[in-house]
Structure formats: structure tokens, C-alpha cells
A = this chain, B = another copy of it.
């Protein structure tokens, strides 16, 4: 009756249902998983939790997992391969049904283990050098390019960029996309107009100080994350400049703070929900057909511009 077999008479079914009600019987998932080899569990690894982007991943993953009737176990890897490994081992020994990994380290042995077990695994927000593993990532080159095109169309001639860490691939891609599209539009992005830092508020503040110190200040700056963009604006305004009259600022991510600051931040939106819904649709299909692979790998999702008041055309 519990497993919904068809071969059971209506009367017995009712009798059993009654007993279930009476005794408050609830199947034990762990015992079940012992036989069925399914822990009714999805694992989600993120490199950070207190960060709106990852909070979105957790939110949507929880939603999808529960919709499918699975529990969600989360692990904070902090980009530490050792923690990553421990979390993976824990998941495996719980018989997880699927894993979503945000930012796996390249050295991870996870892909191998997943293949061994034929465990659905999707990597999001960071490509992985393994063609077999489905991954979902933003078109980071395009993200940079749409900003460069905006600046060029808007008549900006001296533009600047606050880049993420050089050793992070998505930051390199964003930089390359911006630089290349800028060049294509006749804009050059020379040395003092690129400031490299981390994806944090403080980087934006420090970058603002740097740009303020230049004899020829840029008229528009793109920061590769909203927090850094907010840091830029913060220091510019503190310094007496007006955004966007004196200088335009554009961010990236479109987190909640972007619309809350004054002036509201023009930014490049990342479709966080789409990452998760696509990941789950792959997982879903893989659970039904273990040999399924997404047609395109990596699956690339597209960024889009969100125009708000922190940016203004010069022409």
C-alpha cells in the first residue's frame, strides 16, 4: 500500500490506510535508502553562504528539491578543496541522488566519483574542465561586452573597469569581453583604468580612490560585481562627486542592494533562478534516464542590462 502497488484490493488498502492513520506510521527514509539506494536527498555545495547570489542558489535548490520530494543538504566549501572533499564523501555515504556544485575546484575528484556511481552532477556558475559533467554558466564574455557597448553607444571615451581576481576564470572572461568589445567600438582600456580586486565592497572603495587620483578621470566605470559598484559610488559621493552627472557607475549581478542604493544602480543581471531551474531539469532527466546529457555543454545562460539611474549617456 505504501509503495502504491496496484495489486491490492480496495478493502485491504483502506484497512492499511486506517492503520497508518491510527499508528501515525511514517516510513523511515534511512531504512528505505538502505534497500533502494536512494537517500531522497540532493546535495548543494557553495563556496559561501552569506552572499546574495549563493543565497539565491540555496533558495531555488531548496524549492526544487522539495518539489521533487527530496531533502536538501548544504555544504559550505569556502573554496577549500579539503572541505569540498569531506562534504562529497558525506553526501556519497548518505546515498545522495544528485549533487549541485557551485564552483568546484578543478582538482576535485568529484567528477570521477560521480561517473563511477552514475550520480547526477551539475556544476553551476563555474565551468569545469570535464566535458562529461554538465555545467551551467553565465556568458561572462557577453556580460562584459554589453557594458562596453553601452559605454561606447553612450559617448563615453574614458572608461574604466574594476575587475575580479585575475586567477578566477569568470573574472578573466568578463574582463576579456569588456576589453574586446570596447576595442571593437574604438575605446581603449589602458593600464590605470583597470583596477583589480576582489568581489567586495572594499574593492570598490579602493578603486574609487585610485580613479579619483588620476589626472584624467574616467567618465564611466564598470565593476564586475554590485558590491564593488556600490563601493565605487559610495566613495565617489563621499568625495563630493555626483553619480551619474560626474561619473557613471555600472555593476553586475543585480542583487537587491542595486535598487536600494541612491542613485539606483545600473547593472548586468544574472538570472540566478535560471541556473537552478536548468540544473534541476538536467538532474530530473538524468534520474529518469541515466545516460542523458544536455545537448549543449556547458549550458550558457545570458546576462541582460538593467538600466537604472547610476548610468547616463554623454551624448
Q: Which residues on A are within 8 Å of B, measured CB to CB?
A: 26-31, 33-34, 39, 49-52, 55-56, 58-59, 62-63, 66, 71-76, 83, 86, 89-90, 92-95, 201, 227, 230-231, 233-234, 237-238, 256-257, 259-262
Contact = CB atoms under 8 A, between A and B. Distances in A.
A29 B71 contact: no
B49 A52 contact: no
B55 A71 contact: no
Q: What is the predominant secondary structure among interface residues of chain A facing chain B?
A: helix
Given A62-B76, A230-B260, A49 B55 contact: yes
A35 to B, nearest CB: 10
B257 A233 contact: no
A68 to B, nearest CB: 13
Given A50-B52, A58-B74, A201-B260, 19 more contacts: A26-B89, A26-B93, A30-B33, A30-B94, A31-B34, A50-B56, A50-B59, A51-B55, A52-B55, A63-B76, A66-B75, A66-B83, A71-B73, A71-B75, A72-B74, A237-B262, A257-B260, A260-B261, A262-B262
A105 to B, nearest CB: 18
Nearest to A39: B30
Contacts of A63: 76
12 contacts: A29-B90, A30-B94, A50-B52, A50-B256, A58-B58, A62-B76, A66-B75, A71-B94, A73-B73, A201-B256, A201-B260, A238-B262
Given A90-B71, A95-B28, A261-B260, A58 B49 contact: yes
A49 B53 CA distance: 11
B50 A55 contact: yes
Contacts of A66: 75-76, 83, 86
A49 to B, nearest CB: 4
A73 B231 CA distance: 35
Contacts of A72: 73-75
A45 to B, nearest CB: 11
Contact of A49 (B27, B62, B237, B257): B62
A62 B55 CA distance: 13
A86 B73 CA distance: 16
Task: Determine which residue in A71, A90, A261 has the highest number of CB atoms from chain B within 10 A of its CB, and name it.
Answer: A71
A61 to B, nearest CB: 9
A201 B257 CA distance: 10
Contacts of A238: 262
